[in-house]
Amino acid sequence: MSKKVVLITGSSSGMGRATALYLANRGFKVYAGSREPDKLKEIESSNLMPIKLDITDIKGVQDALKDIEQIDILINNAGYGLVGSVEEVSEEQMLAQFNVNVFGVFRVCKVVIPKMRENGGIIINISSFLGKIGLPLLTFYNSSKYALEGITDSLRHELKPFNIRVHSILPGFFDTNFARDNLVTNELTFSIHSPYKKMVSTLAPTLIEQINSGNDKIEVAKLILEIIKDKNYKARVAVGQKAKKFIPMRQILSDEEFEDRVENSYNLNRL
């Protein structure tokens, strides 16, 4: 394991930063990608090398990775959440959400897969339990994670002949400052004049409280190491309290029954 080379996107904070440190401290050679690599200077070491990586631009991804000949493990972690109603979100916001959370994953995979094909590798996509659950005001974020689940499933078949494993991690809410740093709110939806103002006042405080009081991000880092070590690890795994509650429930209940549980959990039946 000590000679394995890891690339992590979105490494400047949260799960990405925790995972970069955790793997580097265990002998992996980690390239920690970020649009702001200076934020990683304080943890830079011989095993942890910050690189400037903007996944919204294919040429930028190509340039950032052109001199890295070997990548054994890719962790697609970069992403953010757009909060707003479908009616009120702008075209620019809508496209930006998918440009990062979906097309950014495609861009990095396009560049990294050729570096893996000869000797095999592992791709781990950091999805969300919301990639299996619908919630109002998070339609764009949730659908981007639903898309990531489809990417994971299809890539697993596509890359199997090259001995490249593809996995998905579905975290619940984690204490990563996500609500502060990685949620983008639509101004119209959060206006007192929005027809969705009651929905905002009901759902938003609950979501923010759950995010900020979530599980420790080191749980994700430890799970990633387990996946790396076990070539027979299952394709998809939930981590964190909320994910472990809802994902199994999603598998055994009908759509209608499951949606009733979600509405009860988030007080949506009071709207």
CA angle 187, 190, 194 (to 5 degrees): 100
Candidates 115, 145, 217, 242; catalytic one:
145
What number of other Cβ atoms are within 10 A of residue 39's Cβ?
A: 15
The strand pair at 236-239 and 164-171 is best described as parallel
Q: For this structure, is 127 an active site residue?
A: yes
Q: For this structure, is 141 an active site residue?
A: yes
Q: Tell me which residue has tokens 């981007």.
A: 144
Separation CA 38–CA 77 (nearest Å)? 18
Candidates 127, 128, 168, 194; catalytic one:
127
Candidates 11, 12, 143, 168; catalytic one:
12
Cβ atoms of 13 and 181 within 8 Å: the answer is yes
DSSP 74-108: EEE----EEES-TTTS-HHHHHHHHHHHTHHHHHH
Q: For this structure, is 145 an active site residue?
A: yes
Candidates 31, 141, 196, 266; catalytic one:
141
Known catalytic residues are 12, 127, 141, 145
